[in-house]
Amino acid sequence: MIVRKVIDPYIAYLEEKRNHLMARRESKLEILREGGERALLHSRHDITRIDFALLRIDKKQYGLCPDCGCEIEEARLTSVPETVFCASCQSDRDKKNKHFRH
Ligand SMILES: [Zn+2]
């Protein structure tokens, strides 16, 4: 169930950003030249996040945090539409992920 009234702007934004990233991915060499292997990995990660957000929209669960089930703050969705977790779950994840970073 979707609580948010208008998600069309988010869908438009996400699809546009996805197209942009896909176009960049096609020129992998360009990305490698610009930012090295890490930049390439990062770009792949962005697409995964966007795909996940679009999937959540598809399932009409966009705007709900899959970890705790609460509604994600409107301001957060507006500034980072590809976010799927609420602020507190995201920061928990960031803390955990830090262990895998160099
Ligand atoms: Zn949450």
Q: Domain containing 61 — which CATH number? A: 1.20.120.910
Q: Which residues of the chain have pLDDT under 70?
A: 1-5, 29, 31, 40-44, 99-102
Distance 26 CA to ligand 1 centre (A): 34
Distance 67 CA to ligand 1 centre (A): 5
> Tokens 């507190």, residue?
88
Distance 5 CA to ligand 1 centre (A): 20
- On average, the pLDDT of the chain sits at 82
- To the nearest 10 degrees (0 to 180), the angle between helices 28-58 and 8-26 is 150
pTM of the model: 0.67
Q: Is residue 95 part of a domain?
A: yes
Distance 13 CA to ligand 1 centre (A): 22
Instruction: Give the count of domains, the chain.
Output: 1
For 82, the domain range is 8-100
> What is the model's pLDDT at position 91?
92
Contact at 8 Å (CB) between 84 and 48? no
Q: Is residue 3 part of a domain?
A: no
Q: What tokens were used for 54?
A: 């679009």
> What is the model's pLDDT at position 1?
45
> What is the model's pLDDT at position 43?
63
